[in-house]
Amino acid sequence: MVKPSTEKSKTQVCRLRHYALLLACFLWTSFCLALWAVNGGIHIKQFQPPRPKPVPQNNSYSITSAFDMGIGDEEWERLQKAIDWSIPDQEITRLDQSTSPVHSTFSIVGLKESYKVGEKISVTITARDHNKNLKRYGGDFFKAKLFNTQLKASVYGEVVDHRNGTYSVPLLLPWEGQAQVFVRLEHSSEVVQILKKYRDSSFPRSHYNGYFEGSGPDKTRISEVVECNIKWGADGGWRKGDCCCEYKDIRTGTVWLCERPKKLSCDKLVHHSHGVLENPLNSFEKQLFAMKLTDVAISGDKKILNGLSNTVANGAVEKCRTGMTTPVPAGFYLKDVWKSFVCNTRQFSPAQMANCLKNKIVYLMGDSTTRQWFEYLERTVPGITRLDLHTHHELGPLMAVELKNNIIIHWRLHGVPLQSGKMPITDLPYINNYIDTIAGGRHAVIVFTYCAHLVFHPITFYVHEVAKIRQSVVSLLSRAPETTVIIKSGNTQGLKNIFQSDWNVLQLDTVMREMFKDIDGVIFLDVWQMTSCHYLRENIHPEPVIIANEVDMLLSYVCPA
Ligand SMILES: *[C@@H]1O[C@H](CO)[C@@H](O)[C@H](O)[C@H]1NC(C)=O
């Protein structure tokens, strides 16, 4: 081991200060002993023991304290560990130093003629840069799966980062028959570094519009459109000074900020919509994000593996209930049917769906992915009808009823920030506030997702919002313990740019899962794995066959067998 000179440590500290405090604290406390070799192993740095925290800088969202997020210091430390990702410790300046999907490869360790169903296949990924040099640090975002096209079978594998340019993936072979390994480089670690940098900076990647409407001085109806965004971070983030109308939610403490309209007063905010997305990437960063380097299959052992068994592959047999953890893999597809390892998931016929939902009020909340569930139920449950609530058919709120079995299904979007078409801001309650209006009970099924629209904003803001949702869920389960509460995770996005990256989704999913880990009575429904390993192209709105499997999971929890 080469000890760094004092000079080098100083440089390193300075460099790190450019990053979020978040990264700095984590690096110093968690990886004192980690050996990071960079630049082809020429400079080898050894990490120093924990140091005092650097003085916070006032230009970043990420200096937000655990207190500002409404959680304790210990929980924030736990969350940072959970989302820890080994990005390069310095910014690279040359494209050829980044991970190449062409030169990176995978191989099957101890390849055999045949495997038993239920056996693990061990895959090693070796990352190389564009000059075919081995990468010496980790952080690349790979996705891996086993699949069989004829059987419409696939299973997700979790990639373990050894932080030295190699990665392992244990892949379970759960079906009888052939299987092949598939690995793709979703983003190089250099791109993950950029994603993280912009996520944690106060740069608003996403803009929003606020529509003010009301009577002008001469009693005529006027309207004004201004820009809005979240107020977050010690410096207030987005706009400075007395620029704005502030909308502070009493219960969440979340502040929505709109530029002050010229003619109308602050209480005249009526509609909300998304504004433009702003790409912060410089030209070098854009090159790193180039399509040919993103979401590319890497080459490796294409050998057809053989799974042998006397029995038919099956999922779990235990009844679906609360308090179950999601293993990896959480299940697998066989003939396009998701067989869960979490619990016994059934396929529901339309009549069984109606029977399951008899006397239920289902509250679906969140974004268009829970609307897909609403639309699926609407299409499939016999006799169900959508009521005309005089709202936009995609922005909602929506409601469907089936009178024979007394089924009521609600769907609505979560509060701002949200990328939506123009709609009344009164129809965008924060999830926690909406939950606070529901009495709950054994007839109530509460489902929410909170992910896709939050990838535009700092993770500290996300933690703050989830903490508030958690409070409301805890209260709900306290006043009505028989309420079914289901959190739907985010699904893979299909888009691989600075705005929608699965790396961000995975991070938010991890935070959500961690923050609800100790809450009894809550079900975490993992659709990340279900959308990550399916043979259809990833889509921010998963394809109908996947939605059908997701809803079968949902119903398996509502009506366990
Ligand atoms: C990387 O780390 C893993 C796990 O510690 C080890 O097995 C492997 O040999 C290392 N590879 C290299 C190239 O250093």
Tens-place pLDDT, residues 236-252: 667 777 789 999 999 99
DSSP 129: B
φ, ψ of residue 138 in degrees (nearest 5): -95, -155
The pair of three-digit structure tokens given for residue 129, joined into one six-digit string:
């840069």
Name which residue leads in pLDDT, 44 or 89.
Answer: 89
- Ligand 1 centroid to residue 87 C-alpha, Å: 17
- Ligand 1 centroid to residue 19 C-alpha, Å: 27
Calculate helix-pair angle for 368-380, 350-357, nearest 10 degrees.
110
**Is 50 exceeded by the pLDDT of residue 10?**
no
Nearest residue CA, atom 4 of ligand 1? 162
The pair of three-digit structure tokens given for residue 107, joined into one six-digit string:
């191989």
Nearest residue CA, atom 7 of ligand 1? 162
Ligand 1 pocket, residue 122 CB under 6 Å: no
Q: For 409-422, what is each residue's pLDDT tens digit?
A: 999 999 999 999 99
Ligand 1 pocket, residue 355 CB under 6 Å: no
List the single range of 97-111, 315-329, 407-421 with lowest mean pLDDT.
315-329
Query: Which residue ranges form the domains of the chain, and what is each CATH number?
Result: 95-196+285-308 (2.60.40.10), 206-277 (no CATH), 343-558 (3.40.50.1110)
Atom of ligand 1 nearest to the CA of 134: 13
Atom of ligand 1 nearest to the CA of 126: 13
Ligand 1 pocket, residue 133 CB under 6 Å: no
Angstrom distance (rounded) from CA 542 to CA 550? 10
Write down the residue that tokens 């309207």 correspond to. 223
pTM: 0.87
Angstrom distance (rounded) from CA 301 to CA 477? 50
- Ligand 1 centroid to residue 453 C-alpha, Å: 37
Alpha carbon dihedral 428, 431, 437, 439, in 10-degree steps, equals 140
- Ligand 1 centroid to residue 41 C-alpha, Å: 14
- Ligand 1 centroid to residue 162 C-alpha, Å: 6
Name which residue leads in pLDDT, 491 or 313.
Answer: 491
- Ligand 1 centroid to residue 159 C-alpha, Å: 14
Residue 200's alpha-carbon distances to 42, 358, 544, in angstroms, are: 30, 45, 34
Ligand 1 pocket, residue 162 CB under 6 Å: yes
Atom of ligand 1 nearest to the CA of 162: 2
Ligand 1 pocket, residue 166 CB under 6 Å: yes
Q: For 176-211, what is each residue's pLDDT tens digit?
A: 999 999 999 999 999 999 999 888 876 678 999 999
- Ligand 1 centroid to residue 122 C-alpha, Å: 14
Angstrom distance (rounded) from CA 254 to CA 300? 48
List the single range of 21-30, 159-168, 392-401, 431-440 with lowest mean pLDDT.
21-30
Write down the residue that tokens 């090693």 correspond to. 124
